């Protein structure tokens, strides 16, 4: 019998909002039992609870969907999240979640508690039964040393977890410092989550951009409408928002979803950001939409220098750049100090408009 989630998927296919994909259908088989698991009311509290001991919750408690970008991992997780008829649920980008955890730990330690992670985990799970993470990736040693105990506490509280990632669990934090201390977390993921690879031959995100313009000029209502359309097609829903923390500074990205971010030129280059900030941004997003790049020159020399650094970071990371600008790349910065050096940036901007860029 076709499950609730599969019915919802097929309904979207019939409406023309999705293309039927065999790999996605196979992933639905993994996600269907999770829907039933989440919607099953928790057991009534027994004498064990009254004695302060919770019965151990064994077996699989969610899923880990991994595979190449644009294959539909986040879309399937969002579908599962939407079809889950409970209120005690949350969907959050993994990077943003870990930043919240670190902030909560900082506050908990001020109270002098012996193990700060315990009250933090209890606060997270107080009204939570289902937790969805988008884009699990671990590059920071502080995250790597923390996630094992954190997830163990989440599972112990009965939380069901679904996460997406571009990497198999065994590839997380690869070559990281003290990685041997991280390995138990990989074992925990394999033990508590169903590991499922989404092996689709189609990159749907890239297909949406195939043959489409990525650089719009001149500035005005037409270029803004074009970026609005692309943002809607790629993000697929209201933005989640993301805050990147780099060396004590915060970069607020209110328009962020499904690894697609949208910011204005002035939000990116009008404030004193540097290479480290742009590298963090390039690591967090796969598509960046930039509105309103002005004509560059003597009057905005500092902003132009930051824009050059931004483009370099995006280029090296293979991020897809979609932008509206006052002029074509070759005539965006034609006079003043730095105009000669900008020729390389113009060349990169032109290359990044190629149909296969970001694939």
pLDDT in tens, the chain (359 residues): 468 999 999 999 998 888 888 889 999 999 999 998 998 876 654 444 444 555 567 788 999 999 877 788 888 998 999 999 999 999 988 887 888 898 899 999 999 899 999 999 999 999 999 999 988 888 788 889 999 999 999 999 889 999 999 889 999 998 888 899 999 999 999 999 999 998 876 655 555 555 568 899 999 999 999 999 888 888 766 677 788 877 778 888 889 987 889 999 999 999 999 888 898 898 888 899 999 999 998 889 899 999 999 999 998 888 999 999 999 999 999 887 777 778 888 998 998 887 666 55
pLDDT at 50 (0 to 100)? 45
User: In the CATH scheme, what architecture does the domain 204-351 have?
Assistant: 3-Layer(aba) Sandwich (3.40)
Q: Would you say the C-alpha torsion 272, 277, 279, 285 has a positive or negative sign?
A: negative
Measured CA to CA, the distance from residue 316 to residue 109 in angstroms comes to 39
pLDDT at 358 (0 to 100)? 57
Residues 6+ apart with CB under 8 A from 228: none
pLDDT at 244 (0 to 100)? 83
Phi, psi of 195 (to 5 degrees): -85, 120
Measured CA to CA, the distance from residue 191 to residue 173 in angstroms comes to 18
Question: CATH 3.40.50.300 residue ranges in the chain?
Answer: 4-197
pLDDT at 47 (0 to 100)? 45
pLDDT at 259 (0 to 100)? 82
Reported pTM = 0.68
> How many other β-carbons are positioned within 10 Å of the β-carbon of residue 285?
24
Best CATH choice for the domain 4-197 from the list 3.40.190.10, 3.40.50.300, 3.30.9.100, 3.40.50.10160: 3.40.50.300
């Amino acid at each position: 019998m076709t499950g609730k989630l599969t019915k919802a998927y097929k309904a979207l296919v019939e409406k023309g909002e999705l293309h039927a994909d065999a790999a996605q259908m196979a992933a639905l088989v993994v996600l269907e039992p999770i829907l039933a698991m989440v919607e099953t009311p928790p057991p009534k509290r027994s004498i064990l609870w009254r004695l302060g001991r919770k019965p151990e919750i064994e077996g699989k408690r969610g899923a880990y969907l991994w595979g190449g970008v644009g294959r539909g991992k986040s879309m399937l997780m969002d579908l599962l999240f939407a079809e889950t008829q409970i209120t005690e649920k949350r969907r959050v980008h993994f990077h943003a979640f870990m930043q919240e955890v670190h902030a909560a730990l900082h506050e908990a330690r001020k109270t002098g508690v012996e193990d700060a992670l315990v009250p933090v985990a209890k606060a997270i799970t107080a009204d939570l039964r289902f937790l969805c993470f988008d884009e699990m990736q671990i590059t920071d040693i502080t995250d790597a040393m923390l996630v094992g105990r954190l997830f163990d506490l989440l599972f112990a509280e009965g939380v069901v977890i679904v996460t997406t990632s571009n990497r198999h669990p065994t590839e997380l934090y690869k070559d990281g410092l003290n990685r041997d201390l991280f390995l138990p977390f990989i074992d925990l993921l394999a033990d508590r989550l169903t590991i499922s690879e989404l092996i689709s031959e189609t990159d749907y995100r890239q297909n949406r951009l195939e043959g489409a313009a990525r650089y719009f000029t001149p500035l005005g209502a037409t270029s803004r409408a074009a970026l609005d359309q692309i943002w809607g097609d790629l993000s697929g829903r209201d933005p989640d928002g993301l805050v990147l923390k780099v060396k004590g500074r915060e970069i607020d990205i209110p328009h962020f979803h499904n690894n697609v971010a949208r910011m204005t030129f002035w939000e990116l280059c009008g404030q004193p950001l540097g290479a480290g900030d742009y590298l963090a941004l390039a690591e967090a997003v796969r598509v960046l939409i930039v509105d309103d790049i002005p004509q560059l020159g003597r009057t905005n020399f500092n902003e132009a220098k930051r824009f050059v650094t931004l483009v370099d970071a995006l280029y090296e990371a293979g991020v897809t750049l979609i932008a509206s600008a006052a002029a074509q790349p070759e005539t965006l910065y034609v006079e003043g100090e730095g105009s000669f050096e900008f020729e390389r940036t113009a060349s990169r901007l032109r290359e990044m408009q190629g149909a296969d860029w970001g694939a």
